[in-house]
Structures are given as C-alpha cells and as structure tokens.
Amino acid sequence: MGKATNSLKKPQRKKPKFRKQNFSVKLTRTQVLVRLKGLPSGQQKSVVCALMGHSRIVTTCFGYVYCGRCEAQVGDMLAGVFCGAQEAVIVGHDCATCRSNYKVLAWYDKFLVKNPFTKRERGQ
C-alpha cells in the first residue's frame, strides 16, 4: 500500500521578510546640531527627544513625571510605574542621589536642558 496523505494538513506559509532595523542608533552632537539647524527654538527640544530619546532629567507634578527637555509626560507615580526612577535627576532636588545620577548622565541627557540644581528665586 502507498503512503496515506493527510488532506487536512494546512499549507505552509512563507514567513514574511522584515527589514532589520537598528533602533540603537547613536548620533553625535554635531549630527544633532545639523538636524536642528533652521528649526524654531520651541521645536528643537521635541526633535531632540524624537531623535535621541527623552532626557533622564525630569520634572514632577502631582505624581506625574515629565521630560525636563520637551515637557512630555514620561511616567506616572500615582497609579502607574516610572521605570527610570533610579537613574533620574529631578529638577529642584539637591539630594545626594540626584547629584550622583547627574554625574553619570551622557551629553544627550543634558543637551537643551536647564541645570536642574539652579536655585529659583521666590515667585518664579
């Protein structure tokens, strides 16, 4: 007798070919400056965050965490999770943890971000 064929077997589909993308592209400071040339100052900060990622210098308000550069919400400490809390530098804090975290930040975390340790005058 011959081999029995299984007519219920599904035909094999070819796997789609995806182009490999490198999401860990690191731009140099001069490459970023070239891309920012000619953009309005208000738009430059959001473009840097789109190119390099949000800064680890953050601001907080009522449990929400915002990027110190573009002011986009990057975390929630009320009902959500802010995963970058251990590496973050909070604007206005002058604690030892924020000082030590600031020392290990890369140039792109500090780029277009005000110094988080400057003392603000009352009323500002």
Cα separations (Å) of 16 from 13, 19, 70?
9, 10, 37
Torsion of CA 102, 108, 110, 112, to 10 degrees: -170
| Of 42, 79, 75, the residue nearest 58 (C-alpha) | 75
Query: What whole-number percentage of the chain has pLDDT above 90?
Result: 55
Interval 11-53: pLDDT, tens:
676 655 544 444 446 788 999 999 999 999 889 999 999 988 9
Q: Is the pLDDT of residue 109 over 90?
A: yes
- Contact call for residues 51 and 35 (beta carbons, < 8 A): yes
What is the average per-residue pLDDT within 68-95?
Answer: 88
Q: Which residue is listed with tokens 């251990």?
A: 86
Domain ranges, ordered by start, for the chain: 29-110
Q: Is the pLDDT of residue 124 over 70?
A: no
